[in-house]
Structure 1
Amino acid sequence: MNFSITRAFSQPASMAALTTLLACMPAWAVTPFTVRDIRVEGLQRIEPGTVFASLPLRVGDQYSDDKGAAAIRALFALGLFKDVRLETQGDVLVVVVEERPSVALVEFVGLKEFDKDVLIKALKEVGLSEGRPFDKALADKAEQELKRQYINRSLYGAEVVSTATPIDRNRVNLTFTITEGGPAKISQIQIVGNKAFTESELRDQFNLDTGGWMSWYTKSDRYSRTKLNADLEALRSFYLARGFLEFRIDSTQVAMSPNKQDMSITINVTEGERFVVSGVKLDGNYLDKEDEFRTLVKIKPGQAYNAETVAETTKAFTDYFGKFGFAFARVEAKPEIDRQNNRVQFVLMAEPSRRAYVRRINIAGNNRTRDEVIRREFRQFEAAWYDGDKIRLSRDRVDRLGYFTDVNVETQEVPGAPDQVDLVLSVVEKPTGSVTLGAGFSSAEKVALSFGIQQENAFGSGNYLAISVNTSKFNQNLVLSTTDPYFTQNGVSRTLDVFHRTTRPLLGDLNAYSLVNSGLGLRFGVPVTETDRVFMGLNVEQTQIREGTTLGLPVEYKDYAAQFGSTSTALPLTLGWARDGRDSALVPTRGSLQRFNSDVSVAGDVRYIRSNYQFQQYIPLSKKYTLAFNTDLGWGKGLNGQPYPLFKNFYVGGLGSVRGFEQSTLGPSSKTTGIYLGGPKKMVFNAEFITPFPGAGNDKTLRMFGFVDAGYAFKDSENVAFSALRASAGVGLSWISPMGPLRFSYANPIRKQSGDKIQQLQFQIGTSF
């Protein structure tokens, strides 16, 4: 007996209709029977076990129409078949399937805006990828996802058409033909309802704008809902920081032109009245420490209401409660508004709740970095009282490792234990290793090839390992360096360096004399406080003074070589101290940096002391503007009656010291050749006013600055005098480009002497290891 029970329709959406049809057509009904065997036909790539595992029937079960319909629904639910039917041959149940074609290849035509891998990843998230089953509904869903990706980049006119081309073995090649079109640009931003501030003042708070000459870089004229929401929050913060307690945004309309190329934004606001703070009261439980909490109040009576100071005050209170273990403290600033006089008084309500201790510290997101590397930075311990200061310090210490793009600490209550909390430290790892082969260029050193292998977090251990090579025309080096930041459990670091450096005078002549410095060093860093570290170490160095074939040695080097030989050794003992309180090492806007290093040669052919001190201070004038100061002082002296070695001299002039003068030319020079020799003493002072680049919005990677520099290097026999300093003033550009940091400056000397070498335009692209 061969009896076809039912044939399913070609789409899963027909399941409901199919079930109804089965119930309404008794002519198709099959007399129940006991299944002796089950066979599957029509499979090509799918394993039979997948079908058997989904069937609600087994050999020996009683077959019925209801179970047959359930079997068809189960198989369609797998998403692997476009047709399913059941047949009976006596008491044998035959499952006949037709597999959906699989996707053999996904291609894109007309793709310019995106990298192909980005769209491939987006399609995987909607269930479409090579090797997966294909149907038209999935292709339609993929088209919508691709359009969404383009809309996120303001390409509202993008069109996506999918084409499935059947190939052998029941497979298809899927091609997405994309017409990207141009981005929708903002043609108008209008703010309605403002009275206290002009529309241009309010639009200055926005990152979105109607375009300018730098829009090709910033893309600030491309509409984005996320960016608009951020701008609306910036607008709200602007008003709330200036006394407008009841400011609100009533509505936002975004209109698009018919050709989907232009957009206009209209924002309706109600400013309300401007309120002045009349007073601040503390209410609630302050642990009998009201006076201490009052010192944390940032809200100033008599000044305009400022939401930022209110938020700072409540956060400071909450943090201070946390210092005493009250992890669940609640602080609320309740305004008492006097609308008749436009005044507001704040009542700071505090409820410390209960004291808690930390049961467990969990770490999440560290797929590469070992737990111990993170845990050793923690100052909050498990089974200890909750301490908000220690938790914040722990978070900052983990962040300063530089291995993560994001570090966040969350406090979770422990069910059934009201006095316990768990801390969850979530990190997002970033690549910490790199292999580089590139080139740098500077106006002084021309082309410099570089190669480097660097791993800041080698094998997830937290150790630093680097090999770098530089082939600069005048300064060549080969350096191998490794650092173990926790050489001891107490956080003492150990650094081992092996180096070989060759330095030539900046004369553009590769056959000139050269200085070759080789050696190795061992240095330890001892943490003194949470932000200070003292360094101690010892180097073994050998320095050779090599004569050139086209340019003889300056008489100063000849005299030195005659007295101590062309090759000399030294064992300098290194002592140093560092404190870095900047908010960013790459684009700092606040904080300070101090560094002091001193080398004392205690053995060998040459005896000397060489010290250097640097101090930087960054002062934020506003969200956009920063004032920066730098002081760099150097001093060296020969010991045991020996002169200070010439090859340890300081150099001044050019980028990094006094701009507007040629590199390393501000200082003593040779009596015979005129080559600049540097000096054992130096003074450098810099001041910069840093501002966003016009048209670049608040982009901190592209900034302009005006500067004033002063400095000079002095002979050992000269007295350090401010009257000898050379000075310059000018403007510059800094850009964290894909090639590396770029610095460009144009300076005019404002204090110079005859014979000084001027170089007004200077730039440097790329960095060396």
Structure 2
Amino acid sequence: MKKTLMAGLLSALFASSASAFDAFVIRDIRVEGLQRTEAGTVFNYLPVKTGETMTDEKASQAIKALFATGFFKDVRIEIEGDALVVIVEERPAIASIDFVGMKAFDKDQLRKALKDVGLAESRIFDRAMLEKSEQEVKRQYLSKGYYAAKVTATVTPLERNRVGLSFNVEENDVAKIKQINIVGAKVFEEKELLEVFALQEPGWLTWYTKNDQYSKQKLSGDLEALRSFYLDRGYLEFNVESTQVSISPDKQDIYITININEGTQYSVSSVKLAGNLLLPDEEFRKLVKVQPGEIYSREKLTETTKSISDRLGDEGYAFANVNAAPELSKDKREAAFTIFVDPGRRVYVRRINVTGNNKTRDEVIRREIRQMESAWYDGAKINKSRSRVDRLGYFDEVTVETPPVPGTTDQVDVNVNVKEKPTGSLMLGAGFSSTEKLVLSTSINQQNLFGSGKSLGLQVNTSKVNKVYSVSFTDPYYTVDGVSRGFDFYRRTTNTNNLNYIATYDISSIGGGVRYGIPIGEDDTIALGASVDSTSLDLTSTSPQIYQDFVAANGSKFNTLVGSAGWVKDTVDSRIFPTKGYMQRVFGEMGLPGANLKYYRANYQYQRFWPVTRSVTFMLNGEVGVAGGYGSKDLPFWKNFYAGGIGSVRGYEGSTLGPRDVTTDNSLGGTRRLVGGAELLFAMPGMGQDKSVRPSVFLDAGQVWGKEQKVSLSDLRYSVGVALAWTSPMGPLKFSLAKPFKNKPEDRLQRLQFQMGTTF
């Protein structure tokens, strides 16, 4: 005899009002209707087991428990004698999720977002969850400014109790900021204030930056930037009264209105230091950037508190607390500041941890760290450590954190985290010219060989002009004190007959040498080297007369012992994305006495970076080169200086500036070289802290003079232009578009130049 005790949830809800059956002892439990769900799952949720007494109350609890799993859309309980039969109808499973008409998002990325709210393939279909997911898709579109987007979800039944979900999207156009109004600005023009905003009205570059698309986060950042603008100019009582964001009826235009109260401008009446001043008062005073009588600037005050905190950090007080409290005199429009200094406890470093270096060995990083374990915390040494690790050039990003050790008050750990980048490179140099069309050169270099910090380079160039086979190896820590040693071996052949702009000659050289780098300070290194070179020279009938005169006087085969020496001081903070510091380098080489080539070459370079803002850096670069012969010998003409092209004066063909042969009009190079330039480097708009792309605007200048020519600045050639450096997934790429000026008709111009490579 079969008896249906309860059917569906409705019966379960009212089961307590009327008894549907007499209580009985369960001898068997069966489950029917399952397709995907395991029977054990049902047994786990049932509040009764075999051998127990089944009652109305337990039946109601069983149905509620099974419905609560979300696996079933109907549940019935029947009895057959002393057996309990649970009959279920499963909800369908989601077989697929698709998006139709979607262009603004990556579909896989959106599937992941839906999975976070509970909707994913192979999961049980729940219509309530479908509505929630539909709202999530709309929210994703709203976050990108698609306020007119329409999202409709459809459910398609499939075989084997499955469904396919499809989100049909009508994206429409992105809503753009039509107007930004600042109400209440009296001291500054609205145009000047809007320049500090990231959000902008549509302009010529906003198609790329997307800054004409409204974002709540960007607006919050802009309001803080506006506040900083006023506070840095003395308006201590500045306040944003309200903001209104409205959208047009067609949901295409957004209007932003910001109401502000500027207040009055305050000057600084006095600055006092108070608290536990561990260092002499005079030393603290040097760090104070805010001076009495000046207009108040929050930027200067923040710089002051940070400088004091950093200085205490250099003495081991890692958790120093420095705060400035103002006292306002509204009648006089003056503010008096008291800077309270609380150094806290002096701490020392328990452990230095290095993470993120999957390939690079720990020792390569640790030998650059100047902070020692078990020593007093030193903020300057920690900053220097981060800079030295960054300057290795092996990492895209280097971060240093100093968390306190749990359970202690006087210990910290130093956590150095690096993000490795490919350090091997296959470089291709390329340029366009009217004479040679596309010119290519190649080289292979591995800067971090097997993660050891050693570098190995191989250059192979088999062009018609230059045939180069060279190998170089450098061990930056040949000794534990940081003395480096390197070896170079090369075979070079140059035949300029195929060039229309350089004087013709054919030269072949083979040689090798050793070089050492000796550190004499934290940022100073002396370089010493010696090499042996064997060169043979061959001229043609079209070679310049001065070349033929050199061969007549000195012969065409030369064996030379070359000595080199140099000094480098490098304080630049990063190899990848420099923002501050300078590099000063002097280098010279000489054909040593006893050989048939007696010459010298000396070069001096100075390069400096200044941070203008967080995203803008100003760079100056200058180079001077001098060369000549000694002991009645002339400078070998293949040791001449050249200029023009990427690396010297952009906008001019490579190596074409300077003296020309009067017969062929080809470049001869010179004995003196002057190159310089200024460049404004930017972070790529819209890319946040991404350091892989760096555009710039530049001014280049330079020239080369021959032995008999007088050096005159009026001979300098100039160019201005834009450039782009990109560490792309394919490798480093440099691009420049230049406009030469103060050039002469005989100059060879090359406005578009680029260099590209691939990394491994």
**2:737: which partner in 1?**
744
2:527 paired with 1:531? no
| Partner Cα separation in structure 1 for residue 337 and residue 524 of structure 2 | 40
**1:767: which partner in 2?**
756
**1:339: which partner in 2?**
330
Q: Structure 1's 24 and 369: CA in aligned 2 closer, same or farther, altered over 3 A? A: farther
Note the C-alpha offset of 1:287: 1.7
Q: Is the 8 A contact 2:356 2:420 kept in 1?
A: no
**2:202: which partner in 1?**
211
Picking from 574, 577, 584, the partner of 1:594 is 584
Greater Cα offset, 74-83 or 140-149: 74-83
Q: How high is the TM-score relative to the length of structure 1?
A: 0.81
| Partner Cα separation in structure 2 for residue 226 and residue 481 of structure 1 | 51
Q: Structure 1's 724 and 143: CA in aligned 2 closer, same or farther, altered over 3 A? A: same
Count of aligned pairs between the two proteins: 749
**2:422: which partner in 1?**
432
What residue identity is the alignment partner of 1:177?
Answer: N
What residue identity is the alignment partner of 1:743?
Answer: S
Q: Is the 8 A contact 2:673 2:702 kept in 1?
A: no
Note the C-alpha offset of 1:632: 1.2
Q: Structure 1's 171 and 608: CA in aligned 2 closer, same or farther, altered over 3 A? A: farther
2:229 counterpart SS class: helix
Superposed CA RMSD in Å reads 4.7
| Partner Cα separation in structure 2 for residue 61 and residue 492 of structure 1 | 84
Q: Structure 1's 402 and 656: CA in aligned 2 closer, same or farther, altered over 3 A? A: closer
**2:240: which partner in 1?**
249
Taking only the aligned residue pairs, the percentage that are identical comes to 43
- Offset from partner CA, 1:375-396 (integer Å, 9 cap, x none): 4433223322222222222333
Picking from 181, 193, 197, the partner of 1:202 is 193
Q: Structure 1's 103 and 446: CA in aligned 2 closer, same or farther, altered over 3 A? A: farther
Q: Is the 8 A contact 1:685 1:711 kept in 2?
A: no
Q: Is the 8 A contact 1:456 1:463 kept in 2?
A: yes
Greater Cα offset, 493-502 or 417-426: 493-502
2:703 paired with 1:711? yes
- Offset from partner CA, 1:257-312 (integer Å, 9 cap, x none): 12221111111111111111011111111125222212111111100000011111
**1:154: which partner in 2?**
145
| Partner Cα separation in structure 2 for residue 538 and residue 8 of structure 1 | 94
2:715 paired with 1:726? yes
Picking from 340, 349, 374, the partner of 1:383 is 374
Q: Is the 8 A contact 1:706 1:732 kept in 2?
A: yes
Note the C-alpha offset of 1:423: 3.8
Greater Cα offset, 496-505 or 391-400: 496-505
**1:260: which partner in 2?**
251
**1:27: which partner in 2?**
20
2:572 paired with 1:578? no
- Offset from partner CA, 1:107-164 (integer Å, 9 cap, x none): 4433433445544554454455555555444544444444344333323223333445
2:341 paired with 1:354? no
Greater Cα offset, 148-157 or 401-410: 401-410
**1:507: which partner in 2?**
499
- Offset from partner CA, 1:331-355 (integer Å, 9 cap, x none): 1101111111001111111122222
**1:12: which partner in 2?**
none
**1:421: which partner in 2?**
412
| Partner Cα separation in structure 2 for residue 464 and residue 18 of structure 1 | 79
| Partner Cα separation in structure 2 for residue 119 and residue 394 of structure 1 | 41
Picking from 617, 633, 649, the partner of 2:640 is 649
Q: Structure 1's 622 and 350: CA in aligned 2 closer, same or farther, altered over 3 A? A: closer
| Partner Cα separation in structure 2 for residue 63 and residue 472 of structure 1 | 94
- Offset from partner CA, 1:189-241 (integer Å, 9 cap, x none): 11111121111111122222212223323333222222222222221111111
2:152 counterpart SS class: strand
Q: Is the 8 A contact 2:645 2:753 kept in 1?
A: no
| Partner Cα separation in structure 2 for residue 26 and residue 693 of structure 1 | 75
2:323 paired with 1:293? no
Where do 1:8-19 residues align within 5 Å? none
| Partner Cα separation in structure 1 for residue 503 and residue 22 of structure 2 | 101
1:281 counterpart SS class: strand
- Offset from partner CA, 1:463-512 (integer Å, 9 cap, x none): 65666767877567677666655555444556566666665547359997
Q: Structure 1's 104 and 347: CA in aligned 2 closer, same or farther, altered over 3 A? A: same
What residue identity is the alignment partner of 1:766?
Answer: Q
Q: Is the 8 A contact 2:655 2:669 kept in 1?
A: yes
Q: Is the 8 A contact 2:695 2:725 kept in 1?
A: no
| Partner Cα separation in structure 2 for residue 609 and residue 451 of structure 1 | 29
Where do 1:39-118 residues align within 5 Å? 42-44=34-36, 51=41, 55=45, 62=52, 104-118=95-109
Greater Cα offset, 97-106 or 407-416: 97-106
Q: Is the 8 A contact 1:360 1:423 kept in 2?
A: yes
Where do 1:475-486 residues align within 5 Å? 485-486=476-477
Q: Structure 1's 698 and 326: CA in aligned 2 closer, same or farther, altered over 3 A? A: closer
Q: Structure 1's 93 and 566: CA in aligned 2 closer, same or farther, altered over 3 A? A: farther
Q: Is the 8 A contact 1:207 1:697 kept in 2?
A: no
Q: Structure 1's 729 and 459: CA in aligned 2 closer, same or farther, altered over 3 A? A: closer
| Partner Cα separation in structure 2 for residue 43 and residue 406 of structure 1 | 52
Greater Cα offset, 292-301 or 650-659: 650-659
2:144 counterpart SS class: coil
Q: Structure 1's 102 and 645: CA in aligned 2 closer, same or farther, altered over 3 A? A: farther
- Offset from partner CA, 1:675-734 (integer Å, 9 cap, x none): 22213432223345789999999999676646362422323xx37x43276223453122
Q: Is the 8 A contact 2:317 2:345 kept in 1?
A: yes
| Partner Cα separation in structure 1 for residue 502 and residue 662 of structure 2 | 22
**1:13: which partner in 2?**
none
| Partner Cα separation in structure 2 for residue 403 and residue 20 of structure 1 | 68
Q: Is the 8 A contact 1:598 1:610 kept in 2?
A: yes
Note the C-alpha offset of 1:647: 2.7
| Partner Cα separation in structure 2 for residue 727 and residue 516 of structure 1 | 33
Structure 2: runs of 5 or more not aligned: none
2:712 counterpart SS class: helix
**1:678: which partner in 2?**
669
Note the C-alpha offset of 1:3: 7.0
| Partner Cα separation in structure 1 for residue 369 and residue 185 of structure 2 | 49
Note the C-alpha offset of 1:415: 4.0
- Offset from partner CA, 1:634-660 (integer Å, 9 cap, x none): 233457776433333210234543456
Q: Is the 8 A contact 1:448 1:471 kept in 2?
A: no
Structure 1: runs of 5 or more not aligned: 10-16
| Partner Cα separation in structure 2 for residue 366 and residue 30 of structure 1 | 69
2:243 paired with 1:280? no
Q: Structure 1's 138 and 207: CA in aligned 2 closer, same or farther, altered over 3 A? A: same
**1:758: which partner in 2?**
747
Q: Structure 1's 3 and 313: CA in aligned 2 closer, same or farther, altered over 3 A? A: farther
Note the C-alpha offset of 1:519: 6.2
Q: How high is the TM-score relative to the length of structure 2?
A: 0.82
1:379 counterpart SS class: coil
Greater Cα offset, 285-294 or 332-341: 285-294
Picking from 391, 396, 403, the partner of 1:412 is 403
Q: Structure 1's 67 and 689: CA in aligned 2 closer, same or farther, altered over 3 A? A: same
**1:394: which partner in 2?**
385
Q: Is the 8 A contact 2:656 2:747 kept in 1?
A: no
- Offset from partner CA, 1:24-78 (integer Å, 9 cap, x none): 564278645477x88787344x6777x3896578987847677777777777777
Greater Cα offset, 242-251 or 593-602: 593-602
Note the C-alpha offset of 1:666: 2.6
